[in-house]
Amino acid sequence: MSDTASAWLMRWLRGTAVLARYQNHWPGRLITWEGVSWAPLAFAPSALVGGDATVEAGASVQLPFDAISYPQVLAAQERGDYWELRQYAFDPTDADLGPPVTMTLQGAYLGQVVDAEVSGLAMIDVGLGAPLAPAGASFPPRTITTPLIGVPPQV
Amino acid sequence: MSTPLIRLELPLGELGRLTAQPETIAPAANTGAVGSSGNLDVDQRPAVLGEPVPIVFCRLLDGAGGVLIGPPATDGRFESDSSGNVTARYQLLLSEGRIGAPQARDVFQQSCRVGTFTMAYGRRAGDWGPGRVVAALSSGGEPPALPVFVGTAGGNYQGLSMGSFTVTIPSPFDQWRRQVWVFVRNGMEVYRFIEGTVGSSDNFVDLVGWALQRTGRMPPQLISGASLLTAAQFLDANGLTFNGVIEESSNLLDWIARVAPHYLLRFIRSRGVYSLRPLLPTEAGGAISTSAVTWSVVLRNVDVDVASIRLTMIPRGDRMPVAVVAQWRQQPTDTEGIPRSAILRYGSSAEAGPYIQFDLSGYCTRELHAIRFCAYQLAARRYITHRLTVRVLPSREPSGLEVGDLIRADFEVTAPVTGTARIDQLYTVEQMNRSPGGVLTLELLHFPVDSQGRSVIALDVTRAQGTGVLLPSGRAPVSCDANDPDDPSVPTDPGPWPGWPGPDEYPIPTYPPDETPPPDVDPFEPTPPPDIPISPFNPDPPPQDPDSPTDDWGPGLNPVPAIDEIDPGIGPVETPPEGEDYIATLSVDQLALTYPENMTLITESNAVGVAGRLTVDNPPIDTDLTIVLSDGRTDRLWSLQIPAGETSTQLPSDFTTGSDVPTASVIRSVTVEQHNGGNYQAAEGDPVTINPTTFTLEVYVGTISVDAPGRWTYSGGWIWAGEDVPDWDWDDVTEQWAFTGTATGWTWDQANQRWTYSGTAPTDWEWVVAEQRWRRITTTSTDWRWASDGWVYTGATTPPPAAPADIEAKPADPPEAPLPAPTIIAAPDPASYAVTLRLRVDKVPIGIPGTDDLGVTLEDYYLSAGELPAGVLPFTAPNAIPAVLMQFGSWRWIPAAQWWQHTYSGSEWRWMPDTATWLYLLDPGDWTWSQNQAQWIGGTGAPPSAPPFENGTPWPPDAERWTWDALTAQWVAPVSEVTTPGGTPPDVSGLGLLSGIVHYEVPYSLS
């Protein structure tokens, strides 16, 4: 591979079903990839980070604020769907029209939509990760309540 | 302050001495109700609303472990009789989840085994209810002061372990007020990764697994179960246990990340998935490995952006000798935990400090655990010298690299004068950052190894041993036990109290209170109407239907795309010619298709009827049938597909999409192969002759088969498809490199793919097989030793004397092995890998002289999954014979220019191909060259020489510009611009045929 190009692809997963696909290399073009023809939606990825688990916001993406992406972001966050980011490297020689046969998976990230922000009615910044916000990640998980133990005494 | 109790000198090793130092009694941090240095003589504490439900996580094994807890009371019942004796009953909240029921000998009030105790799970314990009963004293006087607010029994106690404690204390003592203590031998039951069963555990990983799942916010897909199992085995094999109570609220991730290092684990997140990985190399069963380590990746200069390499030394202040102190807890079964201190230092270093303290007493109940933790801290400070940051070139990025992996970096730079400077170390991948452009940046931490490739930190950790001494608790003998201190019985709980309404009476209200089902329409569900404006980022996508996903990335699950969908974006979608209906009738043995007569059938089949009608005998029943038609244009084709098994098909009027060049050739080559009668079957290596062109079919080592409809699989090995490597051969069977050259003094270990040194042993150097490099082994000083990459001073003189000089030059390195196999992914499992077949055809004309001008063409054809039936490897050459075959004598047809060229190289004449004339280059005198007569005219004397004549004429043969129409497979005479009229189509018979090789390239992809 004399030269290397990079393409990011993202899938919106619900269970085993793929609800939508995004990619940033052949947007707006019907492409065939791994036996599937699909019209990818555009998006812009941010960096993938792997490291200490306490490093939050391991990945984020930017989507256009439009009639397709916006409802998808809302639905994905509401339902806890997964978004999977993948970064592939390939030889750009034969990749003008679509993904080449040989692509090397170089990075991947699986997460849920944990936050999203619309800016200027133009872009949606979507943070991917695990929804372990501080309020939701208390450990031990339960607290003492009256439904649980009644009214405690004053000894 | 420090009282020497124990002193242990560990065996000396080349890495220094690890010494457990005199233990000091230091107050342990308050880690909750673990009874570590607590005061037993306190009043019973009530439960407090809002506080966390405690988690008791422990398991008494081999005489260590367990927890003494002081559970809070959720209600009580207090009665005094006429003598002033008080009977107190406490309902106690023991733990989240189900714990092992305490034995009779395990319950104390204050420090005495008194009263009775029973336990229940998920309900109240005991058969009594809260209350207060005070009887008048028979002797008159004031009765005992009993609590007024006794609590209520109004809980559901779901998922809780509750205890009932009853004690009667004679007047006038008030010990009934004192705190109840319970020694828990078996804590909360969880899923145990190692055993795969549910039960009490002392494995920290089991607790993490339970916690991550219990939050309800951590989807299972984001937890690496495999890594948790590995980590659990690591803890189990190395005696790192958890015996404690968690009752202070923390952020779960922070808590895990804070505690995990105390278990020599690292809490990481890779690819979005959480996992725990040991900080040390491990054997298969989880034991700390002291063998030579292996690494998965080697990074060299060619693999990285050299300018991005940043090596940062650990500050010297962070590496100075220290004494590490870890507080742990010696847990007796009959009283509170005894705080212990494990102190470790190297030799006599840092005897006066400084001390670095860690509090593990909340959960560490084994001395060896604390000692090993201290050893890791010390060794890491001593041996880890630096960090490295490097940016990997995209084309050289190793696949499958994960955070925590071990890699080797081997960088060097050579200067003319000073020689070669080199960084050649092992590293742990600490962090992987990937930029939007896909560039990977690695943050690496030095992983020190010794001359045998063993982790020096692992060696020191395994060498560190505890004293094994258990200290007395210091508790004075008491005679207050009313119960047998050796009674292991577990009393049966008589409850619940009949007055307790039961758990259903105290449900946690839900919102909304009624159970109205949610509306059918999900307001968040994206249902874009078909006419919604498309984002400018997606100018031409079809409408998305998120609720109808029908495909996946795995080719095996996907519908096979129509070949005419390869690239509709190039040009507008074509519609077929009007005026005809396209009716296909498919029966078991015959398919008949009527199509417009103005179209030409391109598809080759075993039976073709008259123009406008196609008949196919024995059409395939398990694959779709694709028909390709031409409407006479050379830049597009029409295709239609008939689904497999259809017996009657009404084809849509817009059944196809054609496209402009250059995709026509791709369509053509693929569709021909769909026809049953036109297929060519070949076994591996069989030559296949295909009319009109001869090809050699070459299948690589493996075989290609179909294991399911629409799914290709490849089984077999990989071959080296790159250029030849001098002195190295790729073994297709073992898929490894074999050294075939000569390297004096070196032996190539084929099995392990590395060099061993067999030459004369140098005095000062040894060849480190595991690292594949030389290492200095001798010194001239007892205070200097050769570390991984230089001299390290271990003496006591300050400042240190000069380092020893090199006695012997470093021996030469062996030949450098070539890069790994063309793909480092092993031969794929046919069941899990799917491929798309790619045909690469090298077409080389044969029988033609001067093929350098004729050119070698290379064409690629892509066969999507499922286009070929099982067991059949058909191939049909494209219907194209390049016009480059035309050569007559000295005349050669140049297809790109569409003219004849002559090979004459004399100095008198020049053939002007664009005008198809000869030009005389010398002075002809009074002679004139007649193009029409092909002779000199009008001059006197002898005429100049004539241009080369062949076959009686100086002109090209049949100089009509015939072209080969690939679609109709025939010669076409276009409008002529040449001077010589007429002619017949060139006869290419006898000029030879094309030969070529068909390469099957099988890329891999995860299904």
Please indicate if any CB of chain B lies within 8 Å of the CB of A122: no
Please indicate if any CB of chain B lies within 8 Å of the CB of A15: no
Check pLDDT > 50 for residue A1: no
Quick check: bond before B354 cis, omega within 30?
yes
The shortest CB-CB distance from B246 to any of A52, A110, A140 is to: A140
Q: Which of A114-123, B242-251, B399-408, B519-528 has the highest mean pLDDT?
A: B242-251
Question: A78 - beta bridge partners?
Answer: none
The shortest CB-CB distance from B838 to any of A101, A108, A154 is to: A101
What's the confidence (pLDDT) of residue A35?
63
Task: Classify B595 as helix, strand or coil.
Answer: coil
The contacts of residue B582 (CB under 8 Å, 6+ apart) are: B576, B593, B594, B595, B640, B651, B653, B655
Q: How confident is the model at residue B512 (pLDDT cuts 50, 70, 90)?
A: very low
What's the confidence (pLDDT) of residue B615?
52
Q: What is the pLDDT of residues B645-689, one digit of tens each?
A: 554 444 333 333 332 221 211 111 122 222 222 223 333 322 222
Contact of B456 with B383, CB cutoff 8 Å: yes
Check pLDDT > 70 for residue B52: yes
Contact of B383 with B320, CB cutoff 8 Å: no
SS3 for B410-439 is: EEEEEECCCEEEEEEEEEEEEEEEECCCCC
Check pLDDT > 60 for residue A57: no
User: What value does the mean pLDDT take over residues B515-534?
Assistant: 32
Q: What is the pLDDT of residues B278-322, one digit of tens each?
A: 999 999 899 999 999 998 899 999 999 989 999 898 888 888 889
User: What value does the mean pLDDT take over residues B400-418?
Assistant: 86
Check pLDDT > 50 for residue B707: no
Q: What are phi and psi of B459, to 5 degrees?
A: -60, -45
| Chain mean pLDDT for chain B | 67
Q: pTM (2 decimals)?
A: 0.56
Check pLDDT > 60 for residue B373: yes
Helix/strand number for chain A, H first, E second: 2, 11
Instruction: Kindly list the distances between the CA atom of residue B873 and the CA atoms of B712, B717, B924, B944, in Å, as whole numbers in the listed order.
Output: 12, 19, 65, 63
CB neighbourhood size of B287 (10 A): 15
- Whether B93 and A132 lie within 8 Å, measured CB to CB: no
The contacts of residue A155 (CB under 8 Å, 6+ apart) are: B43, B44, B45, B46, B73, B76, B147, B177
Distance from CA of B851 to the nearest CA of A (A): 26
What's the confidence (pLDDT) of residue B213?
79
Of A29-43, B243-257, B843-857, least confident by mean pLDDT is: B843-857
CB < 8 Å to B54, chain A: 140
DSSP B320: S
Check pLDDT > 60 for residue B152: yes
Please indicate if any CB of chain B lies within 8 Å of the CB of A36: yes
- Closest residue in B to A145 (Cα) is B49
User: What value does the mean pLDDT take over residues B371-399?
Assistant: 90
What's the confidence (pLDDT) of residue B901?
73
Distance from CA of A119 to the nearest CA of B (A): 16
The shortest CB-CB distance from B431 to any of A49, A67, A146 is to: A49
- Whether B219 and A140 lie within 8 Å, measured CB to CB: no
Quick check: bond before B498 cis, omega within 30?
no
User: What value does the mean pLDDT take over residues B2-9?
Assistant: 27
Distance from CA of B441 to the nearest CA of A (A): 10
- Whether A150 and B155 lie within 8 Å, measured CB to CB: yes
Residues 54-73 of A with CB under 8 A from B: 54-55, 58-59, 64, 66-69, 71-72
Give the distance, in angstroms, between the CA of residue B32 and the centroid of all CA atoms in the same chain. 39
Q: What is the pLDDT of residues B56-76, one digit of tens each?
A: 999 999 888 999 999 999 999
- Whether A140 and B403 lie within 8 Å, measured CB to CB: no
User: What value does the mean pLDDT take over residues B32-59?
Assistant: 80
CB < 8 Å to A90, chain B: none
The shortest CB-CB distance from A18 to any of B217, B267, B549 is to: B549
What's the confidence (pLDDT) of residue B126?
93
Check pLDDT > 60 for residue B643: no
What's the confidence (pLDDT) of residue B640?
57
Q: How confident is the model at residue B690 (pLDDT cuts 50, 70, 90)?
A: very low
Distance from CA of A38 to the nearest CA of B (A): 8
Number of A–B residue contacts, CB under 8 Å: 369
The shortest CB-CB distance from A151 to any of B151, B393, B865 is to: B151
Contact of B100 with B182, CB cutoff 8 Å: no
- Closest residue in B to A72 (Cα) is B526
What's the confidence (pLDDT) of residue B264?
96
What's the confidence (pLDDT) of residue B789?
56
- CA atoms B256, B258, B262, B268: torsion sign: positive
Distance from CA of B913 to the nearest CA of A (A): 35
Contact of A85 with B471, CB cutoff 8 Å: no
CB < 8 Å to B538, chain A: 27-28, 39-42, 68
User: What value does the mean pLDDT take over residues A109-128?
Assistant: 84
Q: How confident is the model at residue B548 (pLDDT cuts 50, 70, 90)?
A: very low
CB neighbourhood size of B523 (10 A): 10
Q: What is the pLDDT of residues A104-117, one digit of tens each?
A: 888 788 888 888 88
Q: Which of B474-478, B605-609, B1002-1006 has the highest mean pLDDT?
A: B474-478
Q: How far apart are CA B128 and CA A38, in angstroms?
A: 68
What's the confidence (pLDDT) of residue B252?
87
Helical pair B204-214 and B225-238, crossing angle rounded to 10 deg: 150
User: What is the residue type of B467?
Assistant: T
User: What value does the mean pLDDT take over residues B573-588?
Assistant: 29
- Whether A74 and B430 lie within 8 Å, measured CB to CB: no
CB < 8 Å to B508, chain A: 145, 147
Q: How far apart are CA B68 and CA B335, in angstroms?
A: 7
Q: How far apart are CA B661 and CA B167, in angstroms?
A: 95
Q: How far apart are CA B406 and CA B436, in angstroms?
A: 25
- Whether A16 and B538 lie within 8 Å, measured CB to CB: no
Of B379-383, B543-547, B606-610, B741-745, least confident by mean pLDDT is: B543-547
CB < 8 Å to A155, chain B: 43-46, 73, 76, 147, 177
Distance from CA of A154 to the nearest CA of B (A): 5
Distance from CA of B74 to the nearest CA of A (A): 5
Q: How far apart are CA A42 and CA A65, in angstroms?
A: 11
Of B4-13, B204-213, B489-498, least confident by mean pLDDT is: B4-13
CB < 8 Å to B273, chain A: 110
Q: Which of B382-391, B541-550, B647-656, B830-839 has the highest mean pLDDT?
A: B382-391
Distance from CA of A125 to the nearest CA of B (A): 14
Q: What is the pLDDT of residues B757-784, one digit of tens each?
A: 888 877 777 787 877 777 776 655 666 6
Of B94-98, B133-137, B801-805, B894-898, least confident by mean pLDDT is: B894-898
Please indicate if any CB of chain B lies within 8 Å of the CB of A123: no
What's the confidence (pLDDT) of residue B804?
61
- Closest residue in B to A59 (Cα) is B272
Contact of B20 with B342, CB cutoff 8 Å: yes
Contact of B44 with B107, CB cutoff 8 Å: no
Please indicate if any CB of chain B lies within 8 Å of the CB of A93: no
Q: How confident is the model at residue B324 (pLDDT cuts 50, 70, 90)?
A: very high
Q: How confident is the model at residue A74 (pLDDT cuts 50, 70, 90)?
A: confident
Check pLDDT > 50 for residue A8: yes
Check pLDDT > 90 for residue B46: yes
What is the ipTM score, two decimals? Answer: 0.77
- Whether A141 and B434 lie within 8 Å, measured CB to CB: no
Check pLDDT > 80 for residue B579: no
